[in-house]
Amino acid sequence: MVFITLRFMLNYLVLFLFAISIVGCVEIENRPNFKDWQKENLSQSLIGLEPRLDSLVVKSDILNIDTIYRSMTGPYSSFTLVDLSDIKEKVIWLTGYQCKVFNAKNDQQILDDYLCHNNLNYGEPDSYPWDIKTLGSEKRIFTLTAGQTRIALPTGTGIPIYTPNNLAFFSQALNHNTFPINMDTYQEITIFFYSNKHAPNEMKALYPQTPFVTTQIGGPEGGFNSPTSDLYSPVLICGIDSNSSCHISYPPNAKYNPYADDYGRTYTGHWKLSKNDEVWTTNITNMLNLTENAIAMAAGSHMHPYAEKLELWDLSKNQKLHELGASNYQNKIGLSTIEYTSKLNISLKKNHQYALRSYYNCSDSTTGHTGMANMCLYIQE
């Protein structure tokens, strides 16, 4: 009797969870896009108020740097809450993001040599009242890194945020050059925003989409999803390729997973650099997830030392659409600058194929250097 009862309870639980998942899917699928939600829910009677840019500053947990930490290997804090509860309006418009690194002992700002990256993410994106077009489990908004520590979106644009859901950020430390060392650090982020009441008239809504370069690490030869009669087993848990959350993860039930195809090929977004020139090209059409023609208005990137540039290509036209350059220090390991562009007008066609092409040239014989190349595009809703 106990066995029957337990089996009944398990069956009931499975059916209950399945029913909830169906309801959840229906609810998410029925969410309007932001423009439609905006028309129905945001007051138009506030037009004419003086625009006022606000900011909010938050500090990360302490990150102790006690040795050399190559890219993606340093101490990290996976979650720091950005509490928006003091903001009375339900919608704000993010217009920029900044990250500084400090010595925790004396609160003095230090070089961004000690910044691996800082990611700002949506809070509870699945419970937003409108559909968020950004792919990935964590729904990343901004990424800042050594060489690119501040982003400002084009004038008159912003990313709408639902304040009851707050925001959160991930922070990781870096140290390519200093040894010995024992220093407590923290990252201080600043978000810049307009409350809806004090936003400029006719703000254009943007959403972030971050395609990235991948390299194949397992499975048969051939391009992504190229049919093959051979069966292969994945060589790793797809998407878990470093001890940080810099990679953009995808849920197990996602229709598209850039870390694995249907024929046993597996891919990584972080790869070990060889001591020579490397050029990698990845088809990112599915990562862009275009359901209609769109306009990219700004672009930033996260790359590692020895990166030279990252290109966006329209494969359907065999045309390079944009290039983001990177500059390396001459006397130490690290990127001095990564190009960010806020004056773009790139037309993206839903029926075209797109690719990213990354260029690296590692001149250091030291092992442990890795490459990656993300291009965060800020696309008009």
pLDDT(55) > 80: yes
Residue 311 parent element (H or E): strand 307-314
Q: What is the mean pLDDT of residues 293-302?
A: 97
pLDDT(238) > 60: no
Class of the CATH domain delimited by 208-380: mainly beta
Q: Cis omega (within 30 of 0) on the bond before 211?
A: no
Average pLDDT, the chain: 86
pLDDT at res. 228: 72
Domain 38-202 has CATH 2.60.120: yes
Q: Taking the model in full, what pTM does it have?
A: 0.86
pLDDT at res. 47: 54
Residue 322: CB atoms within 10 Å: 17
Across-strand partners of 216? 267
pLDDT(180) > 70: yes
Q: 299 with 341: CB under 8 angstroms? A: yes
Hey, where are the domains in the chain? 38-202, 208-380
Do 38-202 and 208-380 agree at the fold level?
yes
Q: 362 with 284: CB under 8 angstroms? A: no
pLDDT(209) > 50: yes
> Of 315, 339, 340, nearest to 326 (Cα)?
339
The dihedral formed by the CA atoms of 27, 33, 38 and 39, expressed in degrees to the nearest 10: -100
Q: 51 with 198: CB under 8 angstroms? A: yes
Residue with tokens 């978000």: 191
- Residues in CB range of 17: below 8 A, 6 or more apart: none
pLDDT at res. 75: 96
Binning pLDDT at 50, 70 and 90, where does residue 237 land? very low
Q: What is the mean pLDDT of residues 226-247?
A: 49
pLDDT at res. 252: 64
Q: 192 with 153: CB under 8 angstroms? A: no
pLDDT(6) > 50: no
pLDDT at res. 5: 42
> 198 in helix, strand or coil?
helix
Following DSSP, what letter does each residue of 329-378 receive, concatenated?
A: -SSSSSEEEE--B----EEE-TTS-EEEEEEEE-----S--EE-EEEEEE
Q: What is the mean pLDDT of residues 312-323?
A: 96
**pLDDT tens digit string along 69-88?**
999 999 999 999 999 999 99
> 67 in helix, strand or coil?
coil
> What is the Cα–Cα distance from 194 to 177, expressed in whole angstroms?
39
